[in-house]
Protein backbone atom coordinates (compact mmCIF):
# COMPACT_ATOMS: atom_id res chain seq x y z
CA UNK A 1 0.00 0.00 0.00
CA UNK A 2 1.45 3.41 -0.93
CA UNK A 3 1.47 6.36 1.46
CA UNK A 4 -1.57 7.99 -0.16
CA UNK A 5 -3.69 4.87 0.25
CA UNK A 6 -2.52 4.50 3.85
CA UNK A 7 -3.59 8.07 4.65
CA UNK A 8 -6.99 7.55 3.04
CA UNK A 9 -7.46 4.35 5.05
CA UNK A 10 -6.59 6.15 8.29
CA UNK A 11 -9.04 8.95 7.56
CA UNK A 12 -11.76 6.45 6.76
CA UNK A 13 -11.09 4.75 10.06
CA UNK A 14 -11.56 8.02 11.94
CA UNK A 15 -14.76 8.85 10.06
CA UNK A 16 -16.18 5.34 10.56
CA UNK A 17 -15.26 5.52 14.27
CA UNK A 18 -16.91 8.91 14.63
CA UNK A 19 -20.02 7.70 12.83
CA UNK A 20 -20.17 4.63 15.03
CA UNK A 21 -19.90 6.85 18.12
CA UNK A 22 -22.69 9.11 16.81
CA UNK A 23 -24.88 6.07 16.18
CA UNK A 24 -24.07 4.76 19.66
CA UNK A 25 -24.92 8.12 21.23
CA UNK A 26 -28.19 8.29 19.29
CA UNK A 27 -29.06 4.79 20.44
CA UNK A 28 -28.36 5.65 24.09
CA UNK A 29 -29.51 9.27 24.09
CA UNK A 30 -31.60 9.96 27.18
CA UNK A 31 -30.26 13.50 27.55
CA UNK A 32 -33.05 15.40 25.87
CA UNK A 33 -33.44 18.88 27.35
CA UNK A 34 -36.14 21.12 25.97
CA UNK A 35 -35.13 24.25 27.86
CA UNK A 36 -37.52 23.64 30.74
CA UNK A 37 -35.55 24.51 33.90
CA UNK A 38 -38.41 23.74 36.28
CA UNK A 39 -37.91 20.93 38.77
CA UNK A 40 -34.13 21.24 38.29
CA UNK A 41 -34.33 19.09 35.14
CA UNK A 42 -30.97 20.09 33.66
CA UNK A 43 -29.06 19.69 36.92
CA UNK A 44 -30.51 16.23 37.43
CA UNK A 45 -29.62 15.28 33.85
CA UNK A 46 -26.02 16.39 34.27
CA UNK A 47 -25.53 14.57 37.55
CA UNK A 48 -27.12 11.45 36.06
CA UNK A 49 -24.76 11.56 33.07
CA UNK A 50 -21.75 11.94 35.35
CA UNK A 51 -22.83 8.94 37.38
CA UNK A 52 -23.46 6.77 34.31
CA UNK A 53 -20.61 7.78 32.02
CA UNK A 54 -17.68 9.34 33.87
CA UNK A 55 -14.34 7.61 33.20
CA UNK A 56 -13.48 7.03 36.89
CA UNK A 57 -15.32 6.09 40.05
CA UNK A 58 -16.94 9.13 41.63
CA UNK A 59 -17.85 10.04 45.20
CA UNK A 60 -21.57 10.77 44.84
CA UNK A 61 -21.78 12.29 48.31
CA UNK A 62 -19.05 14.85 47.71
CA UNK A 63 -20.38 15.58 44.20
CA UNK A 64 -23.84 16.25 45.59
CA UNK A 65 -22.47 18.49 48.33
CA UNK A 66 -20.37 20.40 45.78
CA UNK A 67 -23.40 20.94 43.53
CA UNK A 68 -25.46 22.21 46.48
CA UNK A 69 -22.69 24.57 47.61
CA UNK A 70 -22.26 25.93 44.07
CA UNK A 71 -26.01 26.53 43.71
CA UNK A 72 -26.28 28.34 47.06
CA UNK A 73 -23.21 30.44 46.23
CA UNK A 74 -25.21 31.97 43.38
CA UNK A 75 -27.90 33.23 45.76
CA UNK A 76 -26.39 35.51 48.42
CA UNK A 77 -23.32 35.50 50.69
CA UNK A 78 -25.20 34.04 53.66
CA UNK A 79 -27.21 31.15 52.19
CA UNK A 80 -24.97 28.19 52.98
CA UNK A 81 -24.83 24.42 53.13
CA UNK A 82 -23.51 22.93 56.37
CA UNK A 83 -22.21 19.34 56.46
CA UNK A 84 -23.05 17.42 59.66
CA UNK A 85 -19.93 18.44 61.61
CA UNK A 86 -20.24 22.14 60.73
CA UNK A 87 -23.96 22.16 61.47
CA UNK A 88 -23.39 20.68 64.93
CA UNK A 89 -20.67 23.23 65.70
CA UNK A 90 -22.90 26.07 64.52
CA UNK A 91 -25.80 24.98 66.71
CA UNK A 92 -23.53 24.39 69.72
CA UNK A 93 -22.11 27.91 69.53
CA UNK A 94 -25.55 29.49 69.98
CA UNK A 95 -27.17 26.89 72.21
CA UNK A 96 -25.88 28.48 75.40
CA UNK A 97 -23.92 25.39 76.39
CA UNK A 98 -21.57 22.78 75.01
CA UNK A 99 -20.18 19.45 76.11
CA UNK A 100 -16.58 19.48 77.27
CA UNK A 101 -14.27 19.81 80.27
CA UNK A 102 -15.08 23.37 81.42
CA UNK A 103 -11.99 25.55 81.10
CA UNK A 104 -10.92 28.74 79.35
CA UNK A 105 -7.36 28.91 78.08
CA UNK A 106 -5.04 31.01 75.97
CA UNK A 107 -1.88 30.13 74.06
CA UNK A 108 0.77 32.83 74.59
CA UNK A 109 3.87 30.65 73.97
CA UNK A 110 2.70 27.70 71.84
CA UNK A 111 1.46 26.10 75.06
CA UNK A 112 -2.13 26.25 76.29
CA UNK A 113 -2.39 27.84 79.73
CA UNK A 114 -5.57 27.46 81.79
CA UNK A 115 -6.99 30.95 82.18
CA UNK A 116 -9.96 29.98 84.31
CA UNK A 117 -11.74 26.84 85.51
CA UNK A 118 -15.53 27.01 85.29
CA UNK A 119 -17.02 26.72 88.74
CA UNK A 120 -18.71 23.36 89.30
CA UNK A 121 -17.48 22.02 85.97
CA UNK A 122 -15.68 18.73 85.29
CA UNK A 123 -12.17 20.26 85.36
CA UNK A 124 -12.72 21.90 88.73
CA UNK A 125 -14.02 18.62 90.15
CA UNK A 126 -11.00 16.78 88.74
CA UNK A 127 -8.54 19.27 90.20
CA UNK A 128 -7.30 21.41 87.30
CA UNK A 129 -6.10 24.84 88.41
CA UNK A 130 -5.74 28.22 86.83
CA UNK A 131 -2.23 28.54 85.38
CA UNK A 132 -1.77 24.83 84.55
CA UNK A 133 0.14 24.24 81.27
CA UNK A 134 -1.65 21.67 79.10
CA UNK A 135 0.88 19.25 77.63
CA UNK A 136 -1.28 16.43 76.27
CA UNK A 137 -4.89 15.60 75.50
CA UNK A 138 -5.14 11.83 75.69
CA UNK A 139 -2.13 10.71 73.60
CA UNK A 140 -1.93 13.93 71.56
CA UNK A 141 1.01 16.18 72.42
CA UNK A 142 -0.16 19.77 72.03
CA UNK A 143 2.55 21.75 73.85
CA UNK A 144 5.25 23.23 71.63
CA UNK A 145 3.73 21.59 68.55
CA UNK A 146 2.20 24.73 66.98
CA UNK A 147 -1.20 23.07 67.38
CA UNK A 148 -3.97 25.44 66.22
CA UNK A 149 -6.15 26.62 69.09
CA UNK A 150 -9.36 25.38 67.45
CA UNK A 151 -7.77 21.93 67.13
CA UNK A 152 -7.03 21.95 70.86
CA UNK A 153 -10.66 22.81 71.55
CA UNK A 154 -11.84 19.97 69.30
CA UNK A 155 -9.65 17.48 71.17
CA UNK A 156 -11.00 18.57 74.55
CA UNK A 157 -14.67 18.66 73.53
CA UNK A 158 -16.75 15.51 73.44
CA UNK A 159 -20.11 14.08 74.43
CA UNK A 160 -21.17 14.31 78.07
CA UNK A 161 -20.19 11.17 79.94
CA UNK A 162 -17.12 10.45 77.80
CA UNK A 163 -13.70 10.65 79.39
CA UNK A 164 -10.48 12.41 78.42
CA UNK A 165 -7.03 12.46 80.00
CA UNK A 166 -5.51 15.93 80.31
CA UNK A 167 -1.81 16.00 81.23
CA UNK A 168 -0.62 19.32 82.64
CA UNK A 169 2.56 20.79 83.96
CA UNK A 170 2.28 22.43 87.37
CA UNK A 171 5.30 23.81 89.22
CA UNK A 172 7.61 21.74 87.03
CA UNK A 173 5.70 18.49 87.61
CA UNK A 174 3.64 16.60 85.01
CA UNK A 175 0.23 15.60 86.36
CA UNK A 176 -2.39 13.54 84.46
CA UNK A 177 -6.10 14.17 85.14
CA UNK A 178 -8.87 11.84 84.02
CA UNK A 179 -11.88 14.07 83.39
CA UNK A 180 -15.44 13.07 82.56
CA UNK A 181 -16.94 15.56 80.13
CA UNK A 182 -20.24 17.23 80.92
CA UNK A 183 -22.52 20.01 79.69
CA UNK A 184 -20.84 23.39 80.17
CA UNK A 185 -22.73 26.72 80.17
CA UNK A 186 -21.62 29.30 77.60
CA UNK A 187 -22.17 32.86 78.76
CA UNK A 188 -23.15 35.57 76.30
CA UNK A 189 -22.84 38.42 78.86
CA UNK A 190 -19.08 38.94 79.16
CA UNK A 191 -19.19 41.67 81.78
CA UNK A 192 -21.67 43.74 83.81
CA UNK A 193 -20.61 46.41 86.30
CA UNK A 194 -21.11 50.03 87.33
CA UNK A 195 -18.85 52.54 85.57
CA UNK A 196 -19.81 55.28 88.04
CA UNK A 197 -22.55 55.92 90.59
CA UNK A 198 -25.34 56.02 87.99
CA UNK A 199 -24.02 54.41 84.80
CA UNK A 200 -23.97 50.67 84.25
CA UNK A 201 -22.10 48.76 81.57
CA UNK A 202 -23.07 45.43 79.99
CA UNK A 203 -21.09 43.72 77.24
CA UNK A 204 -22.89 41.10 75.15
CA UNK A 205 -20.85 38.82 72.87
CA UNK A 206 -23.68 36.98 71.06
CA UNK A 207 -27.42 36.37 71.01
CA UNK A 208 -27.59 32.78 72.27
CA UNK A 209 -30.48 30.80 73.76
CA UNK A 210 -29.63 32.09 77.25
CA UNK A 211 -29.00 35.75 76.37
CA UNK A 212 -32.24 37.23 77.67
CA UNK A 213 -31.99 35.37 80.98
CA UNK A 214 -28.35 36.41 81.43
CA UNK A 215 -29.06 40.01 80.47
CA UNK A 216 -32.04 40.26 82.82
CA UNK A 217 -29.98 39.05 85.78
CA UNK A 218 -27.17 41.48 84.94
CA UNK A 219 -29.56 44.43 84.54
CA UNK A 220 -31.36 43.61 87.79
CA UNK A 221 -28.03 43.57 89.63
CA UNK A 222 -27.01 46.96 88.19
CA UNK A 223 -30.41 48.48 88.98
CA UNK A 224 -29.96 47.44 92.60
CA UNK A 225 -26.61 49.25 92.57
CA UNK A 226 -28.17 52.55 91.43
CA UNK A 227 -28.11 52.36 87.63
CA UNK A 228 -30.14 55.05 85.87
CA UNK A 229 -28.20 54.85 82.57
CA UNK A 230 -26.88 51.85 80.66
CA UNK A 231 -24.01 51.60 78.20
CA UNK A 232 -24.86 48.46 76.25
CA UNK A 233 -21.87 47.17 74.29
CA UNK A 234 -22.66 44.98 71.27
CA UNK A 235 -19.50 45.71 69.34
CA UNK A 236 -18.13 42.61 67.58
CA UNK A 237 -21.42 40.83 68.32
CA UNK A 238 -22.21 38.99 65.09
CA UNK A 239 -25.77 38.12 66.08
CA UNK A 240 -27.63 34.91 66.77
CA UNK A 241 -31.23 34.10 67.61
CA UNK A 242 -33.88 36.60 66.52
CA UNK A 243 -36.16 35.94 69.49
CA UNK A 244 -33.43 37.03 71.91
CA UNK A 245 -32.98 40.33 70.05
CA UNK A 246 -36.74 40.87 70.22
CA UNK A 247 -36.84 40.15 73.96
CA UNK A 248 -34.00 42.57 74.68
CA UNK A 249 -35.52 45.30 72.50
CA UNK A 250 -38.83 44.79 74.29
CA UNK A 251 -37.16 45.65 77.61
CA UNK A 252 -36.56 49.24 76.46
CA UNK A 253 -39.52 50.10 74.20
CA UNK A 254 -43.06 51.23 74.91
CA UNK A 255 -46.14 49.25 73.99
CA UNK A 256 -46.85 49.19 70.27
CA UNK A 257 -43.46 50.49 69.19
CA UNK A 258 -42.07 48.57 66.23
CA UNK A 259 -38.93 46.51 66.78
CA UNK A 260 -38.39 45.13 63.27
CA UNK A 261 -40.31 43.66 60.37
CA UNK A 262 -39.34 41.13 57.74
CA UNK A 263 -40.56 40.60 54.21
CA UNK A 264 -39.71 38.23 51.35
CA UNK A 265 -41.04 36.84 48.08
CA UNK A 266 -42.37 33.67 49.74
CA UNK A 267 -42.85 35.16 53.21
CA UNK A 268 -45.60 37.64 54.02
CA UNK A 269 -44.57 40.77 55.88
CA UNK A 270 -44.34 40.02 59.58
CA UNK A 271 -44.08 42.79 62.18
CA UNK A 272 -42.70 42.54 65.71
CA UNK A 273 -43.76 45.13 68.28
CA UNK A 274 -43.07 45.79 71.94
CA UNK A 275 -45.68 44.69 74.45
CA UNK A 276 -44.98 47.49 76.94
CA UNK A 277 -43.94 45.19 79.79
CA UNK A 278 -40.20 45.87 79.61
CA UNK A 279 -38.48 46.77 82.86
CA UNK A 280 -35.95 49.24 81.39
CA UNK A 281 -38.23 51.70 79.61
CA UNK A 282 -37.10 54.63 81.75
CA UNK A 283 -33.36 53.86 81.74
CA UNK A 284 -31.06 56.13 79.74
CA UNK A 285 -29.41 54.11 76.98
CA UNK A 286 -26.29 54.26 74.82
CA UNK A 287 -25.70 51.36 72.42
CA UNK A 288 -22.16 50.72 71.19
CA UNK A 289 -21.72 49.24 67.71
CA UNK A 290 -18.91 48.81 65.21
CA UNK A 291 -18.19 47.29 61.81
CA UNK A 292 -18.45 43.75 63.27
CA UNK A 293 -21.87 44.24 64.86
CA UNK A 294 -24.24 42.23 62.69
CA UNK A 295 -27.64 40.61 62.32
CA UNK A 296 -29.47 40.54 65.68
CA UNK A 297 -27.17 43.31 66.95
CA UNK A 298 -28.32 45.51 64.08
CA UNK A 299 -31.97 44.66 64.70
CA UNK A 300 -31.59 45.84 68.30
CA UNK A 301 -29.64 48.98 67.36
CA UNK A 302 -32.08 49.84 64.56
CA UNK A 303 -35.09 49.48 66.88
CA UNK A 304 -33.51 51.77 69.48
CA UNK A 305 -32.48 54.36 66.88
CA UNK A 306 -35.70 54.48 64.88
CA UNK A 307 -37.81 54.83 68.02
CA UNK A 308 -35.50 57.59 69.31
CA UNK A 309 -35.11 55.51 72.43
CA UNK A 310 -31.36 55.92 72.91
CA UNK A 311 -28.10 56.97 71.37
CA UNK A 312 -26.10 54.78 68.98
CA UNK A 313 -22.35 55.30 69.43
CA UNK A 314 -19.43 53.95 67.42
CA UNK A 315 -19.03 53.09 63.73
CA UNK A 316 -21.34 51.81 61.00
CA UNK A 317 -22.42 48.23 61.62
CA UNK A 318 -21.73 45.31 59.29
CA UNK A 319 -24.95 45.30 57.28
CA UNK A 320 -26.38 41.76 57.53
CA UNK A 321 -30.15 41.94 57.46
CA UNK A 322 -31.17 38.60 56.00
CA UNK A 323 -33.57 36.13 57.57
CA UNK A 324 -31.81 32.75 57.61
CA UNK A 325 -34.20 29.82 57.89
CA UNK A 326 -32.63 26.54 59.05
CA UNK A 327 -33.53 23.50 56.96
CA UNK A 328 -32.01 20.37 58.49
CA UNK A 329 -31.80 16.92 56.91
CA UNK A 330 -31.85 13.47 58.48
CA UNK A 331 -28.15 12.84 57.67
CA UNK A 332 -27.19 15.64 60.08
CA UNK A 333 -26.48 18.22 57.38
CA UNK A 334 -28.50 21.35 56.76
CA UNK A 335 -29.03 24.52 54.80
CA UNK A 336 -29.27 28.05 56.11
CA UNK A 337 -31.46 29.63 53.45
CA UNK A 338 -32.26 33.32 53.12
CA UNK A 339 -36.06 33.63 52.99
CA UNK A 340 -36.64 37.32 53.78
CA UNK A 341 -34.96 40.63 54.67
CA UNK A 342 -35.06 42.58 57.91
CA UNK A 343 -36.24 46.19 57.93
CA UNK A 344 -35.94 48.70 60.75
CA UNK A 345 -39.12 50.44 61.97
CA UNK A 346 -38.49 53.39 59.62
CA UNK A 347 -38.33 51.02 56.63
CA UNK A 348 -34.56 50.81 56.15
CA UNK A 349 -33.20 47.52 54.86
CA UNK A 350 -30.33 46.50 57.12
CA UNK A 351 -28.66 44.35 54.44
CA UNK A 352 -25.80 45.94 52.49
CA UNK A 353 -25.55 45.38 48.70
CA UNK A 354 -23.99 42.17 47.37
CA UNK A 355 -20.96 43.82 45.79
CA UNK A 356 -18.05 41.98 44.18
CA UNK A 357 -15.88 42.80 47.19
CA UNK A 358 -18.55 41.88 49.74
CA UNK A 359 -16.22 39.62 51.72
CA UNK A 360 -13.60 42.37 51.91
CA UNK A 361 -15.96 45.18 52.81
CA UNK A 362 -14.22 45.93 56.14
CA UNK A 363 -10.89 46.36 54.36
CA UNK A 364 -12.60 48.66 51.88
CA UNK A 365 -13.89 50.78 54.75
CA UNK A 366 -10.33 51.23 55.99
CA UNK A 367 -9.12 51.98 52.45
CA UNK A 368 -11.55 54.81 51.78
CA UNK A 369 -11.26 56.33 55.26
CA UNK A 370 -14.59 55.36 56.80
CA UNK A 371 -12.95 54.05 59.98
CA UNK A 372 -11.36 57.38 60.78
CA UNK A 373 -13.57 60.05 59.17
CA UNK A 374 -17.34 60.19 59.64
CA UNK A 375 -17.95 61.91 56.28
CA UNK A 376 -16.37 58.93 54.50
CA UNK A 377 -19.19 56.58 55.52
CA UNK A 378 -20.90 55.18 52.45
CA UNK A 379 -24.63 55.58 52.90
CA UNK A 380 -27.43 55.77 50.38
CA UNK A 381 -28.68 59.36 50.64
CA UNK A 382 -30.98 58.97 47.64
CA UNK A 383 -33.75 57.75 49.94
CA UNK A 384 -34.41 59.47 53.27
CA UNK A 385 -36.09 57.64 56.15
CA UNK A 386 -37.36 59.18 59.36
CA UNK A 387 -37.36 58.06 62.96
CA UNK A 388 -40.47 58.24 65.14
CA UNK A 389 -39.55 61.82 66.10
CA UNK A 390 -38.78 62.83 62.53
CA UNK A 391 -34.98 62.59 62.51
CA UNK A 392 -33.43 61.74 59.15
CA UNK A 393 -31.72 58.36 58.85
CA UNK A 394 -30.33 56.59 55.81
CA UNK A 395 -30.05 53.08 54.43
CA UNK A 396 -27.41 51.53 52.24
CA UNK A 397 -26.37 48.78 54.60
CA UNK A 398 -25.92 48.63 58.34
CA UNK A 399 -26.83 51.07 61.10
CA UNK A 400 -25.12 54.46 60.98
CA UNK A 401 -24.36 55.67 64.53
CA UNK A 402 -25.71 58.91 65.95
CA UNK A 403 -22.27 59.62 67.40
CA UNK A 404 -19.26 58.55 65.35
CA UNK A 405 -16.10 57.39 67.13
CA UNK A 406 -13.10 56.83 64.84
CA UNK A 407 -10.38 54.21 65.14
CA UNK A 408 -7.41 55.86 66.85
CA UNK A 409 -4.30 55.06 64.81
CA UNK A 410 -2.02 57.55 66.59
CA UNK A 411 -1.17 55.21 69.49
CA UNK A 412 0.50 52.49 67.41
CA UNK A 413 4.20 53.28 67.92
CA UNK A 414 6.92 51.06 66.49
CA UNK A 415 7.54 49.62 69.95
CA UNK A 416 3.86 48.78 70.38
CA UNK A 417 3.65 47.05 66.99
CA UNK A 418 6.75 44.96 67.74
CA UNK A 419 5.22 43.89 71.06
CA UNK A 420 1.99 42.89 69.32
CA UNK A 421 3.82 40.76 66.74
CA UNK A 422 5.31 38.63 69.52
CA UNK A 423 2.21 38.67 71.76
CA UNK A 424 4.43 40.27 74.36
CA UNK A 425 1.59 41.56 76.54
CA UNK A 426 -0.14 38.18 76.77
CA UNK A 427 3.07 36.28 77.49
CA UNK A 428 4.04 38.84 80.12
CA UNK A 429 0.66 38.50 81.84
CA UNK A 430 1.14 34.74 81.99
CA UNK A 431 4.62 35.15 83.50
CA UNK A 432 3.31 37.58 86.12
CA UNK A 433 0.60 35.11 87.12
CA UNK A 434 3.20 32.38 87.51
CA UNK A 435 5.11 34.59 89.92
CA UNK A 436 2.19 36.01 91.92
CA UNK A 437 -0.37 33.23 91.47
CA UNK A 438 -1.32 32.77 95.14
CA UNK A 439 -2.19 36.41 95.70
CA UNK A 440 -3.75 37.16 92.30
CA UNK A 441 -6.07 34.17 92.24
CA UNK A 442 -7.75 35.15 95.52
CA UNK A 443 -8.59 38.82 94.71
CA UNK A 444 -12.30 39.46 94.06
CA UNK A 445 -12.50 43.23 94.59
CA UNK A 446 -11.54 45.59 91.76
CA UNK A 447 -10.21 48.35 94.00
CA UNK A 448 -8.01 45.83 95.78
CA UNK A 449 -6.84 44.47 92.41
CA UNK A 450 -5.92 47.96 91.16
CA UNK A 451 -3.93 48.67 94.29
CA UNK A 452 -2.10 45.34 94.15
CA UNK A 453 -1.13 45.65 90.48
CA UNK A 454 0.12 49.17 91.07
CA UNK A 455 2.38 47.87 93.85
CA UNK A 456 4.00 45.41 91.43
CA UNK A 457 5.38 48.21 89.18
CA UNK A 458 4.39 46.27 86.09
CA UNK A 459 5.66 49.00 83.77
CA UNK A 460 9.28 48.42 84.75
CA UNK A 461 8.83 44.66 84.74
CA UNK A 462 7.30 44.75 81.25
CA UNK A 463 10.16 46.81 79.81
CA UNK A 464 12.65 44.30 81.24
CA UNK A 465 10.58 41.39 79.87
CA UNK A 466 10.40 42.93 76.37
CA UNK A 467 14.11 43.76 76.40
CA UNK A 468 14.93 40.06 76.88
CA UNK A 469 13.13 39.48 73.57
CA UNK A 470 15.16 42.23 71.94
CA UNK A 471 12.29 44.76 71.97
CA UNK A 472 13.44 48.12 73.30
CA UNK A 473 11.57 51.41 72.81
CA UNK A 474 13.32 54.15 70.88
CA UNK A 475 13.79 57.56 72.46
CA UNK A 476 10.41 58.98 73.40
CA UNK A 477 8.44 55.87 72.36
CA UNK A 478 7.67 54.58 75.84
CA UNK A 479 6.18 57.92 76.90
CA UNK A 480 3.77 57.66 73.93
CA UNK A 481 3.09 53.94 74.36
CA UNK A 482 2.79 53.60 78.15
CA UNK A 483 -0.66 55.24 78.55
CA UNK A 484 -2.06 52.86 75.94
CA UNK A 485 -0.25 49.59 76.62
CA UNK A 486 -0.32 49.52 80.42
CA UNK A 487 -4.13 49.37 80.72
CA UNK A 488 -3.98 46.40 78.33
CA UNK A 489 -1.38 44.70 80.48
CA UNK A 490 -3.38 45.37 83.66
CA UNK A 491 -6.46 43.97 81.90
CA UNK A 492 -4.65 40.78 80.86
CA UNK A 493 -3.11 40.27 84.30
CA UNK A 494 -6.41 41.13 86.01
CA UNK A 495 -8.11 38.34 84.09
CA UNK A 496 -6.20 35.88 86.29
CA UNK A 497 -8.01 37.19 89.37
CA UNK A 498 -11.44 35.98 90.49
CA UNK A 499 -12.93 38.96 88.66
CA UNK A 500 -12.01 37.36 85.31
CA UNK A 501 -13.53 39.25 82.33
CA UNK A 502 -14.95 41.98 84.56
CA UNK A 503 -11.41 42.98 85.49
CA UNK A 504 -10.38 42.91 81.84
CA UNK A 505 -13.11 45.29 80.68
CA UNK A 506 -12.81 47.59 83.70
CA UNK A 507 -9.14 48.21 82.97
CA UNK A 508 -9.78 48.50 79.26
CA UNK A 509 -12.23 51.36 79.85
CA UNK A 510 -9.25 53.69 80.30
CA UNK A 511 -8.28 53.43 76.63
CA UNK A 512 -11.66 52.71 75.05
CA UNK A 513 -12.70 55.93 73.30
CA UNK A 514 -16.13 54.57 72.40
CA UNK A 515 -17.09 53.75 75.99
CA UNK A 516 -15.70 57.04 77.23
CA UNK A 517 -17.72 58.95 74.61
CA UNK A 518 -20.89 57.10 75.61
CA UNK A 519 -20.34 57.67 79.34
CA UNK A 520 -19.71 61.38 78.82
CA UNK A 521 -22.81 61.83 76.62
CA UNK A 522 -26.36 62.24 77.85
CA UNK A 523 -27.54 58.87 76.53
CA UNK A 524 -30.42 60.53 74.71
CA UNK A 525 -30.77 61.70 71.11
CA UNK A 526 -31.35 65.30 70.14
CA UNK A 527 -34.50 65.82 68.09
CA UNK A 528 -34.35 68.97 66.00
Q: Which residues are catalytic?
A: 295, 306, 320
E-assigned strand segments in 107-257: 112-117, 133-137, 140-141, 163-170, 173-180, 182-185, 189-194, 199-204, 229-233
Q: What is each CA distance from 305 to 252, 313, 340, 345, in whole angstroms? A: 12, 10, 22, 9
Q: Are 101 and 137 contacting, i.e. CB atoms less than 8 angstroms apart?
A: no
E-assigned strand segments in 171-283: 173-180, 182-185, 189-194, 199-204, 229-233, 258-264, 267-273
CA 40 to CA 70: how far, in whole Å?
Answer: 14
Beta bridge partners of 202: 192, 232
**Long-range contacts at 152-161 (CB < 8 A, ≥ 24 apart):** 152/105, 152/107, 152/112, 153/100, 156/100, 156/101, 156/103, 157/98, 157/99, 157/100, 157/181, 158/99, 158/100, 159/99, 160/99
Q: Which helix (H) or strand (E) holds 322?
A: strand 322-328
CA 253 to CA 244: how far, in whole Å?
Answer: 15
CA dihedral 501, 503, 506, 510 (to 10 degrees): -110
- Estimate to the nearest angstrom the gap between the alpha carbon of 179 and the chain centroid: 29
CA 507 to CA 146: how far, in whole Å?
Answer: 31
Beta bridge partners of 384: 394
Residue 113 phi/psi, 5° resolution?
-115, 130
Amino acid sequence: MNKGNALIAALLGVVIGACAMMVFLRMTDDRKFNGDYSHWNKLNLILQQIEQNYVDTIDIESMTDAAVEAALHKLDPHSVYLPPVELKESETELAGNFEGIGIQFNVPNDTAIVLSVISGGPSEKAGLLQGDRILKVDDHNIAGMKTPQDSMVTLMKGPAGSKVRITVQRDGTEIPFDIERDRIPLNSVDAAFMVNDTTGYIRLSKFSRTTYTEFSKAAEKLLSEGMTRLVFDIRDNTGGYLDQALLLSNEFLKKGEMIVYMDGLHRQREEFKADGRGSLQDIGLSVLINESSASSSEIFAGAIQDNDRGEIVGRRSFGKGLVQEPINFTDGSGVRLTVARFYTPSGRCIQKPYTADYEYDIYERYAHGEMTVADSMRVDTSVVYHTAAGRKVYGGGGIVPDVFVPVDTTKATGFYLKCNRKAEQMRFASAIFDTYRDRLSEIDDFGELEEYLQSLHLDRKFLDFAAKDGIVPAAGEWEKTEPYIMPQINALVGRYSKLDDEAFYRFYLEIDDTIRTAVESSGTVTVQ
